[in-house]
Amino acid sequence: MPLAENLAAIRAAIHAAAKEAGRDPGGVRLLAVSKGQPVEAIEAAYAAGQRDFGENRAQEAARKFIQFRTSHPDIRLHLIGPLQTNKAADAVRLFDVIETLDRPKLAYALAEEMRRQDRHPDLYIEVNIGHEPQKAGIAPESLADFLTLCRGELKLPVRGLMAIPPLGDDPALYFRKLAALAAAHDLAACSMGMSGDFKTAIACGATEVRIGTGIFGARNQH
Ligand SMILES: *Cc1c(COP(=O)(O)O)cnc(C)c1O
pLDDT by residue (tens digit) across 140-195? 999 999 999 999 999 999 999 999 999 989 999 999 999 999 999 999 999 999 99
Q: What is the pLDDT of residues 90-107, one digit of tens each?
A: 999 999 999 999 999 999
Pocket test for ligand 1, best of 34, 126, 210, 222 (most atoms within 8 A of CB): 210
Q: How far is the CA of 184 from the centre of ligand 1 (A)?
A: 26
Determine contact, residues 76/96, Cβ cutoff 8 Å: yes
pLDDT of residue 219: 80
Which residue has a Cα nearest atom 13 of ligand 1?
80
The model's pTM is: 0.97
C-alpha distances in Å from residue 191, one per residue of 9, 13, 46 = 20, 17, 21
Determine the straight-line distance between the first and last CA of the chain, rounded to whole angstroms: 23
- For the cut 70, the answer to whether the pLDDT of residue 62 exceeds it is yes
